[in-house]
A and B are shown apart, each in its own frame.
Chain A
Amino acid sequence: MSLHALADHPFAAPRSLAEACALLAERAARGERTVLLAGGTDWIVEQHLAPAPAADAPLPLVADVSRLAELRGVAERGDAIRIGAGTTFLELRRDPLVTARLPLLAAAARDVGAIQIQARGTLAGNLATGSPAADGVAALGALDAVLELASVRGTRRVPIAAFYTGYRRNVLLPDELIAAVEVVPPAPGSPFAWRKVGTRQAQAISKVALAAVAELDRSEGPGARLTRLGLGMASVAPTVVFLPEVRALGLGRPLASIDDEALAAATLAGISPIDDVRSTASYRRHVAVALVRRFFESLRAPS
C-alpha cells in the first residue's frame, strides 16, 4: 500500500561503479541509509507490504545501480567464471558460457518467478536480500561461489558460506556493494541437480529446493568416488544452507558405501525447517531427505 511513498524518496543514478562506491561511502560516513536499486523485484515488493512511513521519517536514498556496466556480464577469468552481480536471471539462462559450463545456474535461473521477474531480477538482489528461499543463493552455494564486495576501500572476496550471518542478515558493510560472483565450473559433463519443490510450476516460492553439483572419479569402477560435491538447499532454515554434513559424508568415500540412512541423518543435521503458510516442517524434512537421496541415486547410476 505504501508504494505511494515511492515518489518521495530521494533518488540518484551513479554513472560508474566508482561513483556508486563514493556515494555509499559518503552516506555511510554520515550514518545515512542508501538502497541500491537493481531489478527492484524484492525491494519494491517490500515497500508495498510495509506500512506507510511516518510523515517525518527520513527516507533512504534510492540509488539505481541497474545500469552500471561494471556490474554486468559473464566472462572467463582463469579457471573461474566471473559473473557481474547485476546480471539478470534472463541473461543468465541465455548466456552461452553459463548454459554450457554452469548448467545448474541456468536451470535455477529458469525457475525464478517467471519470465517477467527473470527479466529484471538480479543475482545481486537475490544475494543481498538473502531470503531463505532464494533460488540463486542455493545454486551459487552448490557451486561454492565467491562474492566480490566492492567499496572505496577496495575489493574483498567472501566465500558464499561465510556471507550470511542469520535470517536475511549478511556481512555486507554499509559502504559496500556486491560487484560480482566468481565460480569455478565443474568439469564439463559433471552431474548436477536442480530440483525446486514449489507451490506450483511458476511464480512459486519453494517449499524445499535442492541445488547440487558433483565431480566423479570413476577410474576405480565400482569404487567411484566424489572429488567435488556442492549442495545448496532453500527454505529449510533461516538462511539457505549448504549441507556441510552431507558434503563431509559424500566426499572421498566410495559412493557405493554411502547408505541412505547415513545420508538422511546428514541431511537432517543441516536443516531446521518450520511450519509456515507454505508448508510443514515434517513435509520439508521428508522432501529434503528424498531430494538428497535422489541426487546420490543418480550419481550411483552407471552413466
Chain B
Amino acid sequence: MAPVVGQAVPRVDGPAKASGSARYVDDLTRPGMLFGATLRSPVPRGRLLGVDRDPSFDWSGVTVVTAADVPVNVVATIERDQPVLAAGEVRHVAEPIALVACEDRLRLERALAHLTPRIEPLPAVLTIGEALEARTAIHGADNVMKRYAITKGRGRDGLTGCEVVVTGRYETGAQEHVYIEPQGMLAWWEGDDAHVVGSLQCPYYVQKGIKTVFGLADDGVDVTQATTGGGFGGKEEYPTVVALHALLLARKSGRPVKLVYGRKEDVEATTKRHPSVVEITTGCDRDGTFRAFAARVVFDGGAYVTLTPVVLSRGALHATGPYRWDDVSVEALAVATNTPPNGAFRGFGAPQTQWAVERHVDRIARTLDLDPLDLRLRNLLRSGDTTATGQLLAESVGAQRCADEATWASGYRNRRGAGPVVAGRTARGVGVACFWHGAGFTGSGERYLKGRVAVDLLPGGQARIRTASTDIGQGTETVFRQIAADALGVPMASVDFAIPSTRVVPDSGPTVASRTVMVVGSIVEAAARELAERVGREAERSGSTRAEAHERLAGTPALATCEKQYEPPPGLAWDDATYTGDAYPVFGWGCDVAEVEVDLDTFETKVTGFWTAVDVGRAIHPVLCAGQVEGGTLQAIGWALTEKLVTRGGKVLNPRMTDYIVPTSLDAPPFTTLLVEEPYSRGPGGGAKGVGELPMDGGAPAIAAAVEHATSLVLDRLPLLPEDLFEASGAARSGGGPA
C-alpha cells in the first residue's frame, strides 16, 4: 500500500461543502422546534434591577427565561465567575440577561423588543489603562485577574552593565474571528437527558458546562458537532454559552430550540483576541549579541476570567521571541475591563507578545544601525540552547533554516539593500520577522488532559476513528484518515471518521493549541498501529490472510477496538509554581518576509509579496498545511492593516462585515510558502508538529517592518491604518493642504 501521508489527497469534506449538501446548524430542524433569541445589556456596567415585559404585548406562545430559571448559574471554565444569565449586575455591553423563544421568527423579534432590562448604570472600566489605575475596582482591589513571572539567570538585573539598553512600548487591539458561520446551537431534552448539536470546536467543553448547570452526569448529556463553518478559537469556549441558553429555553418550553446568532450579534457579544500593552527593555552588546530581556505584558481579559489565564500564559512564554537571552524577566498580568470576555483566538496570546518583541528587535537594529535580519540571525535559538523557562531545545529547531529559506526565496537582502523603492507617489519596502510557537498544551497540560482516541475495525475491511478533535474547516477529518490509513496499512477510503458526539467519541481534549495533528494525531497513529499488529498476529496465528483476520477481529467486540491515551514524552518536566522547565514538547518555527507598497498620498498599504517559511516537522498533507499557513498569514495581515474594532462606551460601533474590515481575496498578496521539515521524533506521520497557530505570529511585525522600510514611519501599535500612517507622517499637522 503506497503511503498517503505526505500526499495532497482530496479533502474528504470538500464535495459536501462545495455542493451545498453539508448541513450546518442553521440547516437543521426538529419537529415542534422554536427559535430562540437573547436579550442583552445595553450598558457596560450596572445594577440589574429586573426585566420588564410590556403588558400590551401578546406573550402567548412565547417562552422567557431569566437568571431565576437557571439551576446553577455558572459558565464553568477556569473560574466560576461568569453567570449563564446576568443576575444582580451586568458587567459588559451585550451580556446576556434573558432569553426568548417562540415559533415564528418575526414574532420572536417583536417579543424581544418588548422586553426591557431595568438597569442602574455604574461606572465602568473600559481600557487597560483604566483597569491598571484601579480608580474603579471591578475585580478584586486592583482589577488584576492573573499574574505570571518568568525569570531566567539574573532576571531584570541582567540589564545592568549591558552595553546597549533599548526600551519600547507596543500595543495591539482586539480582533474578531469572523468565522464564516456565526455561533449556533440546536437543543432539546429527552426526559432528563440534554441534547445539543451545533457549531463548536470542543464537544467536551460544552458537555462540562451543561453538566455543571443542570447537575447531570456524563451520560446525561449528548453534545454533537454539526458541520462547522470555521472557529479560529472563537468556538472554543463560547459555544458552551449558546448551548446552555438553547437548553434553558428548551427545558422551559418543552420544545426543541434553535439559537443562531446573526453577524452583528456575534461580533457584539462573543470573544475577541485580547488587546495588549507590552513594554520591553533589553540589553545587548554593541555587536548585537542579545544579553538581557525584561518585559511587562498586560492583556485585557474583559469582564470575566474565562480562558484568560491560559492565553496570558502562552503570551508570556513566547514573549522573548525565538532568541537566546542569558537573563530574562517577564512579568505578565491580565486585567479585568467591562468589555465582553476576550478569549481564544488562533495564536492564543503569542501573536501579541511576538508583535512586541519583533518590533523591539527592529528598534534595537535601528539603534545599533544593523540590518534587522543580521541581528536576528545572530541571536536565533539553535539546537542545544535554552529558552526563558530553562527548556533545553533538544531537537527539531528549524528557526535558522526558516530564516535562510524565506530570506533567500524573497531576495530580502537585495530588496533591503536597494533601499525603499520610490516610484512616483508610492514607496516599496521589505521587512522580516522570525517567530516560534509551542505546539500542544502548555506545561503539564497534556499530562492532566490525558487525551484519548479510539479506532475500531469494522466489517468489510473498514475502520473508523473516534475522536473529539473536530474538523472546523482545517482538515482534521482528512489528515487523521491519512495517518490511520498508513498505520493500518489500508486505503484511505476504508477509514471513516465518526461524527464527534460525546456519546460516541472519547475525550481527546479540545481542538485547540495546534495540538490536533501533533498530539491527537499521534494517538490516532498509535491506536491504528496497535490494531494493525493485532490483525498481523491474528493472521499469523490462524494462518489466514490479513483481510480474513481483519473480519474476524471486527466481529469480536473485545478485539475490534483500540482506545489509547496520550503518552507525554518521557523526561518532560514542568514546574507550575516557578514557571520553569519544558513549556512545550516542541516548537514550530517560522520566518516571514513581507513586501509592501505604500501610497504616499493616501497611506494605503498594499502587501505586494509575502514569503513565509515554516518548520512544521512533517507536512502530512502539503496542500492543507500550506492552506493553514496562507490563511493564517492573511488573518495576520488583516490584524496588521485593516481590522479595528471601533468602540464607544464599551459598545462596538462596527459590528458588520461592511465596516469591520477583513481582507478579501483581492487583498491577499501572492504567497510563496515554504514548508520546512525538521521532524519531531514523537510526531505522527514521521514527525509532524502543530501548524494551526504558527502563521498568525509573524505577519504583523513583518508588515510593520516593511512599512517602516518604505516610509521611515515607525509604528508600534496595531492596526496600521492609513489614518495612523497619515498622523505619524506629520502630514496631518500641515493642515490637509498639499504634502
Residues of A within 8 A of B (CB): 1-2, 4-5, 8, 51-52, 54-55, 114, 197, 199-205, 207, 260-261, 264, 268, 277-280, 282-283, 285-287, 289-291, 293-294
How far, in Å, is A191 (CB) from chain B's closest CB?
16
Known contacts A54-B110, A203-B664, A277-B659; is A283 also within 8 Å of B722 by CB? yes
Q: Is B446 among interface residues, defined by CB-CB distance under 8 A? A: no
Chain A positions within 8 Å of B105 at CB level: 4
Some 19 contacts from A to B, beta carbons below 8 A apart, are: A4-B105, A51-B109, A51-B113, A54-B110, A200-B663, A200-B666, A200-B667, A201-B606, A202-B665, A202-B666, A203-B658, A205-B659, A207-B722, A277-B646, A283-B603, A283-B732, A286-B736, A289-B738, A290-B739
| CB–CB B737/A287 < 8 A | no
Most A-side CB within 10 Å, residue of B106, B110, B113, B663: B106
| CB–CB B736/A55 < 8 A | no
Most B-side CB within 10 Å, residue of A199, A264, A293: A199
Partner of B737, one of A200, A204, A205, A261: A261
Q: Complex Cα distance A282/B729, Å?
A: 13
| CB–CB A290/B723 < 8 A | no
The proximity string for B residues 578-608 relative to A, scoring 1 for CB distances below 8 Å and 0 otherwise, is 0000000000000000000000011110100
| CB–CB B602/A200 < 8 A | no
Chain B positions within 8 Å of A200 at CB level: 642, 661, 663-664, 666-667
- What is the chain B residue whose CB lies nearest that of A275? B723
Chain A positions within 8 Å of B739 at CB level: 286, 290
| CB–CB A114/B664 < 8 A | yes
Known contacts A200-B642, A201-B667, A294-B425; is A4 also within 8 Å of B601 by CB? no
Chain B positions within 8 Å of A290 at CB level: 601-602, 738-739
Chain B positions within 8 Å of A287 at CB level: 601-602
Chain A positions within 8 Å of B659 at CB level: 199, 205, 277-278
Which B88-139 residues have a C-beta within 8 angstroms of A? 104-106, 109-110, 113
How far, in Å, is B601 (CB) from chain A's closest CB?
4
| CB–CB A2/B732 < 8 A | no
Q: Complex Cα distance A52/B606, Å?
A: 40
Chain B positions within 8 Å of A277 at CB level: 646, 653-654, 659
| CB–CB A289/B736 < 8 A | yes
Partner of A2, one of B109, B646, B663: B109
| CB–CB A202/B110 < 8 A | no
Chain B positions within 8 Å of A54 at CB level: 110
Chain B positions within 8 Å of A283 at CB level: 603, 722-723, 726, 732
| CB–CB A285/B736 < 8 A | yes
How far, in Å, is B398 (CB) from chain A's closest CB?
33
Band of interface residues on B: 35 or more
Which B615-659 residues have a C-beta within 8 angstroms of A? 642, 646, 653-654, 657-659
Known contacts A199-B642, A201-B664; is A293 also within 8 Å of B738 by CB? yes
Q: Complex Cα distance A207/B721, Å?
A: 12
Q: Complex Cα distance A249/B653, Å?
A: 39
| CB–CB A52/B110 < 8 A | yes
Chain B positions within 8 Å of A202 at CB level: 664-667
Known: A204-B661, A264-B736, A290-B601. 16 other contacts (CB 8 A): A2-B109, A4-B105, A51-B109, A199-B661, A200-B664, A200-B667, A201-B664, A203-B657, A205-B658, A260-B738, A261-B738, A286-B739, A289-B736, A289-B737, A289-B738, A294-B425
- What is the chain B residue whose CB lies nearest that of A293? B738
- What is the chain B residue whose CB lies nearest that of A208? B602
Chain A positions within 8 Å of B667 at CB level: 200-202
Known contacts A200-B664, A201-B667, A260-B738; is A55 also within 8 Å of B726 by CB? no
The dominant DSSP class at the B interface is: loop
Q: Complex Cα distance A293/B601, Å?
A: 10
Q: Complex Cα distance A268/B722, Å?
A: 20
Chain A positions within 8 Å of B732 at CB level: 282-283, 286
Q: Is B731 among interface residues, defined by CB-CB distance under 8 A? A: yes
How far, in Å, is B61 (CB) from chain A's closest CB?
14
Chain B positions within 8 Å of A260 at CB level: 738
How far, in Å, is A258 (CB) from chain B's closest CB?
13
Q: Complex Cα distance A178/B649, Å?
A: 42
Q: Is B15 among interface residues, defined by CB-CB distance under 8 A? A: no
Q: Complex Cα distance A120/B658, Å?
A: 18
Partner of B106, one of A5, A197, A199, A278: A5
Chain B positions within 8 Å of A51 at CB level: 109, 113
The proximity string for B residues 703-731 relative to A, scoring 1 for CB distances below 8 Å and 0 otherwise, is 00000000000000000001100100001
- What is the chain B residue whose CB lies nearest that of A199? B661
Chain A positions within 8 Å of B14 at CB level: none
Chain A positions within 8 Å of B664 at CB level: 114, 200-203
Which B280-337 residues have a C-beta within 8 angstroms of A? none
Q: Is B262 among interface residues, defined by CB-CB distance under 8 A? A: yes
Q: Complex Cα distance A277/B721, Å?
A: 12
How far, in Å, is B634 (CB) from chain A's closest CB?
12
| CB–CB B738/A55 < 8 A | no
Chain A positions within 8 Å of B661 at CB level: 199-200, 204
| CB–CB B658/A279 < 8 A | no
Partner of B109, one of A1, A261, A279, A286: A1
Q: Complex Cα distance A285/B734, Å?
A: 11
| CB–CB A55/B723 < 8 A | no
Most B-side CB within 10 Å, residue of A197, A203, A277, A293: A277
Q: Complex Cα distance A268/B736, Å?
A: 9
Most B-side CB within 10 Å, residue of A54, A286, A291: A286
How far, in Å, is B546 (CB) from chain A's closest CB?
52
Q: Complex Cα distance A166/B386, Å?
A: 67
Chain B positions within 8 Å of A289 at CB level: 736-738
Q: Complex Cα distance A205/B657, Å?
A: 11
| CB–CB A280/B723 < 8 A | yes
Partner of A4, one of B106, B657, B736, B738: B106
Instruction: Give 9 nearest A-B pairs by CB, closest first.
Output: A201-B666, A285-B736, A290-B601, A4-B106, A52-B109, A4-B105, A260-B738, A199-B661, A202-B664
The proximity string for B residues 531-557 relative to A, scoring 1 for CB distances below 8 Å and 0 otherwise, is 000000000000000000000000000
| CB–CB A55/B110 < 8 A | yes
Chain A positions within 8 Å of B646 at CB level: 277
| CB–CB B109/A4 < 8 A | yes
Which B10-55 residues have a C-beta within 8 angstroms of A? none
Known contacts A283-B723, A286-B731; is A52 also within 8 Å of B658 by CB? no
How far, in Å, is A36 (CB) from chain B's closest CB?
23
- What is the chain A residue whose CB lies nearest that of B733? A282
Partner of B113, one of A52, A207, A261, A282: A52
Most B-side CB within 10 Å, residue of A8, A279, A283: A283
| CB–CB A197/B738 < 8 A | no
Partner of B726, one of A203, A204, A268, A286: A286
| CB–CB A1/B262 < 8 A | yes
Q: Complex Cα distance A200/B606, Å?
A: 9
How far, in Å, is B596 (CB) from chain A's closest CB?
14
Q: Complex Cα distance A294/B601, Å?
A: 9
Q: Complex Cα distance A204/B667, Å?
A: 11
Chain A positions within 8 Å of B658 at CB level: 203, 205
Which B649-683 residues have a C-beta within 8 angstroms of A? 653-654, 657-659, 661, 663-667
Q: Complex Cα distance A5/B606, Å?
A: 41
Q: Complex Cα distance A81/B732, Å?
A: 42
Q: Complex Cα distance A197/B723, Å?
A: 12
Chain A positions within 8 Å of B736 at CB level: 264, 268, 282, 285-286, 289
Chain A positions within 8 Å of B642 at CB level: 199-200
- What is the chain B residue whose CB lies nearest that of A281? B736
How far, in Å, is B549 (CB) from chain A's closest CB?
55
Q: Complex Cα distance A289/B738, Å?
A: 7
How far, in Å, is B39 (CB) from chain A's closest CB?
13
Q: Complex Cα distance A4/B213, Å?
A: 33
- What is the chain A residue whose CB lies nearest that of B729? A286
Q: Complex Cα distance A268/B731, Å?
A: 16
How far, in Å, is B330 (CB) from chain A's closest CB?
36
Q: Complex Cα distance A268/B735, Å?
A: 11
